[in-house]
Structure 1
């Protein structure tokens, strides 16, 4: 019998199903039999596309962060770096809400020591902060503080997404909280309050709508 060929569509199907199982039941619920049953695929398909059950959870995490990185990296750069930073924030928030099972599974367990799955997504936030500094919207700071600010912005987004997914905060209120916290952080970092408000309004106003 010839080996199965890897199909990106089947891999995505398995990843999404595994993420749902992990989010709903934790690692104990994720078994070869259940994953095969929920996707109507053979156990061989799981080994072919994900490398066996011992690697499925890691594959879910890596794939999830790859999708998140693709989403935030799709935010184009405009002349207003603060507005771009707000757009990255909004995309992160929307990603978490649109793929709740995958998002939960990405953070469900402590990763292995060499896991750098989240680096690309984090680097996009770092880049957005640096553009605000280079554009003289935020003051020059030590490189370590750039990473600190980016981590604070990520933590804020993650916390709000988690609250919405858990039912602790309604989505409309969460969007308002996210915008307000972003504004307060930017002002705290040194941006002009009026300019920060204009940038956030511009970033979060749908195209064609009056600001």
Structure 2
């Protein structure tokens, strides 16, 4: 009988999640491949076999984080109303961060000094923003949004969601700010600010 494969996709994901948790909890210096392997119940040989090196592992963390994040945003159902869709994508942004907070910090704060993502990681990061860019461009093209560069709307909406989510994950939101309802209120108010002025002829 053939020997069972132990260095498989399931182990790879387990190692990535564990590596993200180590960095998130104790900083990048905590990411020892030996410690990582022991925590995942495997060997350092398995880590090297799946990732190659510590920098490759960090790059894989970045890729995996944006892969999951991008899939969640791509799955957000569109309503056809640009304001509503910006809000829905903002809610998806928060859900993605809550699902993988240990990866979110690596994706957006570059918590590992000296790390520069490779081309594949950059592509996954761009792909994650694509649904938001499509909604912004569609809103401008249809005349629902004012005639501004869609990228301005995209970056503004992305930055607002990221800022609020980062405050929430760090425990820095005031008690009176209910993360669910107030978060959506803020997103909707900001998205409505891009509406074309009445009587603009668009």
Q: Normalization by structure 1: what TM-score?
A: 0.79
How far off is 1:187 after superposition?
Answer: 2.8
How far off is 1:48 after superposition?
Answer: 1.9
The aligned length equals 189
Please tell me whether residue 120 in structure 1 is matched to residue 127 in structure 2: yes
Moved more, 130-139 or 151-160: 130-139
How far off is 1:88 after superposition?
Answer: 1.0
For 1:47-196, list aligned pairs within 5 A.
47-109=48-110, 111-112=116-117, 114=119, 115-116=121-122, 117-141=124-148, 145-169=149-173, 173-190=178-195
Unpaired segments of 5 or more residues in structure 1? 194-211
Q: Normalization by structure 2: what TM-score?
A: 0.82
Task: Provide the rounded CA distance (Å) in 1 between the counterparts of 2:184 and 2:18.
Answer: 32
Provide the residue aligned with 2:33 in structure 1: 32
Task: Provide the rounded CA distance (Å) in 1 between the counterparts of 2:183 and 2:158.
Answer: 11
Query: After superposition, what is the alpha-carbon deviation per residue over 1:14-40, rounded to whole angstroms, capped at 9, x for unaligned?
Result: 110011011111211101111001100
Unpaired segments of 5 or more residues in structure 2? none
Provide the residue aligned with 2:43 in structure 1: 42
Task: Provide the rounded CA distance (Å) in 1 between the counterparts of 2:188 and 2:34.
Answer: 48
Q: SS of the counterpart of 1:155?
A: helix
The 8 Å contact of residues 64 and 103 in structure 1, kept in 2 or not, is answered as yes
Query: After superposition, what is the alpha-carbon deviation per residue over 1:41-91, rounded to whole angstroms, capped at 9, x for unaligned?
Result: 111111122222221111101110011000000113333332222111101
Q: SS of the counterpart of 2:179?
A: helix
Identify if the C-alpha distance between structure 1 residues 63 and 171 changes in structure 2 by more than 3 Å, giving closer, same or farther.
farther
Task: Provide the rounded CA distance (Å) in 1 between the counterparts of 2:196 and 2:92.
Answer: 22
How far off is 1:165 after superposition?
Answer: 1.0
Query: After superposition, what is the alpha-carbon deviation per residue over 1:84-133, rounded to whole angstroms, capped at 9, x for unaligned?
Result: 22111101111111221121222242634755141111122111212222
The 8 Å contact of residues 23 and 108 in structure 1, kept in 2 or not, is answered as no
Task: Provide the rounded CA distance (Å) in 2 between the counterparts of 1:27 and 1:135.
Answer: 46
The 8 Å contact of residues 137 and 192 in structure 1, kept in 2 or not, is answered as no
CA RMSD, Structure 1 to Structure 2 (Å): 2.5
